[in-house]
Structure 1
């Protein structure tokens, strides 16, 4: 359900300023971005083939005739580039400065597109004392940042560094993560299967508000439609069912399921078909009654397997968890699934370690490889998750105010328990605990391996969400 990120590149230059050095900088920048596109899996759209008009520029007492090129040098260029980038449906914009740049064109282009925007320019070499400085990119970036603010354009900035400095690639990769989060949020369409468990008031959401504020679409389907879809799958797709069972058994022991293996596969295929039918980007499903009573099977493990196959899927009809999961896998470039867990208990001896647990819906690809995993006779996955750095996330809201929490910890050894679980060690658990108690969060969180806090903080700026983390005072301390 992911879409490859598409980045528009519009190099800008001051047209009366050292053209040879500017064009060489532009060539090197585009070459570097194309190199990174292969490494970080994104598409590049440039202005290289666009025709910008010739123009006259007053420089001192002279009027210079400047031959058109493919770099952004004035307001008209920005309009041409904006039209093209809209046609190409870019997800984000990178405006590198190959010399001082042209702040009006930069601000107009970014303002027209309203996508995450990155600005940067290469660091100048030492002046030779005889000639004009070669580019003054840093000076131009200071000018452009003020104009972008005047145009109310949100933007991200990489420090003035050399193209091959490690900081450039690191910060550029971070911007890609932010852009993916923003793009995923703008495309959110959640498949809602049945209704929430009766007592789970914590997962109530305001569907109309999500649509009105953020254009998040909820697509409800009844259990009847799900069962009809599963029936057709069992009648018409027997080979696909068998192939799915064989594929799952390569990684996990299904022996305890017995004859229910095929039933589990059919339910999984049916749910994924519904997601494709309604063009949904993630799923939130009832899991306590409908599927269990119809097939004598808990859908826990198969939800995790759906996550493994690229569709974020949350249980207990937690729509906000489905939103969070979609953003989580976007942050890591769709390279690994997320998992939805309960915050359950504090470690008996380790004050800063918490148990993230659920009854069996974690993707099997995240399993700790040294521990054999299996699926119970009722359909739940039993295995701990692997060690590593984990970002814990939660999109949630109350009283019309929406926040995105992002905290980071490390998966560590801990007591064995049932279901799926991971013990998470953090810097100060009491801060986390109070944060979740005072809300607007509940006990459900989404985990993703890796540290993506900075990417989410940037994404919240672009999405007009309140960014939250354990170090920000909880609502009670702010007098809310």
Structure 2
């Protein structure tokens, strides 16, 4: 650490991913670095965005020095590989700086910066590290004030919202029966967790112990082989059915629609053959890069048929969906927290297009389109329905005792345009939205939560009691 009276030393590393709007990310990162310098600190670290393994390697030597403050600018979303490579052995807290979404309404997520901080935080807290969150753009006075305080030794709050203690289900036996009904069910997994997606890692023995769930896993090549084996007549029938349900498919490249149909048939048949109760799929990079298709709409079709589906092979996310469904939630959706609107105390919850069309604000207008980042078909592009909602998530318990913990939140999905390409819900929370986002990040919770449109909080609390897992409810 620097001595008293000396110029403060700040390590700044800006991370990003090439699939987002890199020129905007770079411009925001440069403005962030300039602000720290304007505040009188001496800034160290690479001046360019860190996006590749080579970039990470070049940044590592900076970690050998002492700094008054360490700032990771999440200039855009990226997986948590850079966070773990750079900070897993760092004793001092990392200040994660997220920017507001700059793109126009209805466009893609340009940065997805907040979600990037959320994923970084999960990985680092899981590894025993400490994080803080700063949300806002370099030209905001409040951001400059928070940053000035951080440079001088007063970091943003690491405190989380105080958990609430809500009512339990009146029929405890019914909840127990629902959990017992999960015993012996089978969870289908396609491939491994995407690189750097720590929330997608899981313990199969824990699933067996707590829920009695069995895992049926395919490699990505085995899944592709099943897709190749789909008969042309089956593919044609699925295309006809999908186009009848969503005529907007006529605007998508026909070859991509055909590949999507074959993917749907293969996953559906696999699910039926193995009696799968939920499916979690590694949806990238191999599907778009090797097969020229995004499986989002396939997951949507299967979800509409009653089988919960989770992208990014998020196992605990899929288990959360399965548990919520068993407790009476109806259809659910796995979402990222991507934006914060303090004007109406809301967060925007989003994912890139695999929501069941039954969850659309208007199911008749559940548009199917190309994927927001990959620009190939097929993914949904429609806002999610309005009304009271519950957010929940099973995840690792980081208190050293092992096992799982359960996150619960609630609010109301309010009428709003589809703010980002894919599926978006704007949710006005029951608690302070800024504090909720801060708690989500500093608490090391996953970037994925599960959104449901039925209030099953009493059942969720009771289920956690019966399972012997702690609840964090805001």
Q: TM-score range by the shorter chain?
A: 0.5 to 0.7
Query: Which residue of 1 is the match for residue 404 of structure 2?
Result: 402
Offset of residue 187 of structure 1: 3.7
How big is each residue's C-alpha offset from its partner over 1:386-413, in whole Å with a ceiling of 9 and x where there is no partner? 1111111101113413112222110013
Offset of residue 321 of structure 1: 0.5
Query: Which residue of 2 is the match for residue 384 of structure 1?
Result: 383
Residue 220 of structure 1, aligned match among 217, 222, 237: 217
Runs of 4+ with >4 A deviation: none
Maintained 8 Å contact 2:246/2:367: no
Maintained 8 Å contact 1:371/1:383: no
| CA distance 1:370–1:447, shift in 2 (3 Å) | closer
Q: Is the counterpart of residue 197 in structure 1 residue 223 in structure 2?
A: no
Please give the alpha-carbon distance, in whole angstroms, between the structure 1 residues aligned to 2:229 and 2:463: 41
Maintained 8 Å contact 1:181/1:456: no
Offset of residue 247 of structure 1: 4.4
Q: Is the counterpart of residue 422 in structure 1 residue 462 in structure 2?
A: no
Q: After the TM superposition, which residues 278-427 of structure 1 pair with which residues of structure 2 at under 5 Å, given as runs? A: 278-332=274-328, 336-347=330-341, 349-350=343-344, 352-369=345-362, 372-377=365-370, 378=376, 379-398=378-397, 399=400, 400-414=402-416, 416-427=419-430
Maintained 8 Å contact 2:234/2:265: no
| CA distance 1:337–1:214, shift in 2 (3 Å) | closer
TM-score (norm 2): 0.57
Q: After the TM superposition, which residues 47-446 of structure 1 pair with which residues of structure 2 at under 5 Å, given as runs? A: 171=170, 176=174, 178-179=175-176, 181-235=178-232, 237-238=234-235, 240-249=237-246, 253-332=249-328, 336-347=330-341, 349-350=343-344, 352-369=345-362, 372-377=365-370, 378=376, 379-398=378-397, 399=400, 400-414=402-416, 416-428=419-431, 429-439=433-443, 441-446=445-450
Please give the alpha-carbon distance, in whole angstroms, between the structure 2 residues aligned to 1:397 and 1:440: 10
Please give the alpha-carbon distance, in whole angstroms, between the structure 2 residues aligned to 1:303 and 1:210: 23
How big is each residue's C-alpha offset from its partner over 1:90-137, in whole Å with a ceiling of 9 and x where there is no partner? xxxxxxxxxxxxxxxxxxxxxxxxxxxxxxxxxxxxxxxxxxxxxxxx
| CA distance 1:254–1:454, shift in 2 (3 Å) | farther
Offset of residue 249 of structure 1: 2.5
| CA distance 1:360–1:202, shift in 2 (3 Å) | same
Please give the alpha-carbon distance, in whole angstroms, between the structure 1 residues aligned to 2:342 and 2:450: 23
Maintained 8 Å contact 2:342/2:434: no
How big is each residue's C-alpha offset from its partner over 1:192-245, in whole Å with a ceiling of 9 and x where there is no partner? 101221122232222333334543322210122212211222346245424433
Query: Which residue of 1 is the match for residue 11 of structure 2?
Result: none
RMSD: 2.7
Maintained 8 Å contact 1:367/1:373: yes
Match of 1:237, SS?
helix
Name which structure has the greater RCO, CA cutoff 8 Å, separation 6+. Answer: 2
User: Between Structure 1 and Structure 2, whose CA radius of gyration is higher?
Assistant: 1
For structure 1, the residue ranges without an aligned partner over 5 or more in a row are: 1-155, 159-170, 471-480
Maintained 8 Å contact 2:189/2:280: yes
Offset of residue 436 of structure 1: 2.0
| CA distance 1:341–1:215, shift in 2 (3 Å) | same
Please give the alpha-carbon distance, in whole angstroms, between the structure 2 residues aligned to 1:227 and 1:380: 19
| CA distance 1:448–1:181, shift in 2 (3 Å) | farther
Please give the alpha-carbon distance, in whole angstroms, between the structure 2 residues aligned to 1:258 and 1:244: 14
| CA distance 1:254–1:321, shift in 2 (3 Å) | farther
Offset of residue 430 of structure 1: 4.0
Please give the alpha-carbon distance, in whole angstroms, between the structure 2 residues aligned to 1:183 and 1:193: 25
How big is each residue's C-alpha offset from its partner over 1:26-84, in whole Å with a ceiling of 9 and x where there is no partner? xxxxxxxxxxxxxxxxxxxxxxxxxxxxxxxxxxxxxxxxxxxxxxxxxxxxxxxxxxx
| CA distance 1:271–1:296, shift in 2 (3 Å) | same
For structure 2, the residue ranges without an aligned partner over 5 or more in a row are: 1-166, 371-375
Maintained 8 Å contact 1:396/1:440: no
Please give the alpha-carbon distance, in whole angstroms, between the structure 2 residues aligned to 1:465 and 1:254: 48
Please give the alpha-carbon distance, in whole angstroms, between the structure 2 residues aligned to 1:262 and 1:330: 33
Aligned length: 297
| CA distance 1:386–1:238, shift in 2 (3 Å) | closer
| CA distance 1:307–1:254, shift in 2 (3 Å) | farther
Match of 1:380, SS?
strand
Please give the alpha-carbon distance, in whole angstroms, between the structure 2 residues aligned to 1:313 and 1:157: 28
Please give the alpha-carbon distance, in whole angstroms, between the structure 2 residues aligned to 1:180 and 1:362: 28
Maintained 8 Å contact 1:393/1:405: yes
Maintained 8 Å contact 1:182/1:459: yes
Match of 1:233, SS?
coil
Maintained 8 Å contact 1:460/1:467: yes
Query: Which residue of 2 is the match for residue 456 of structure 1?
Result: 460
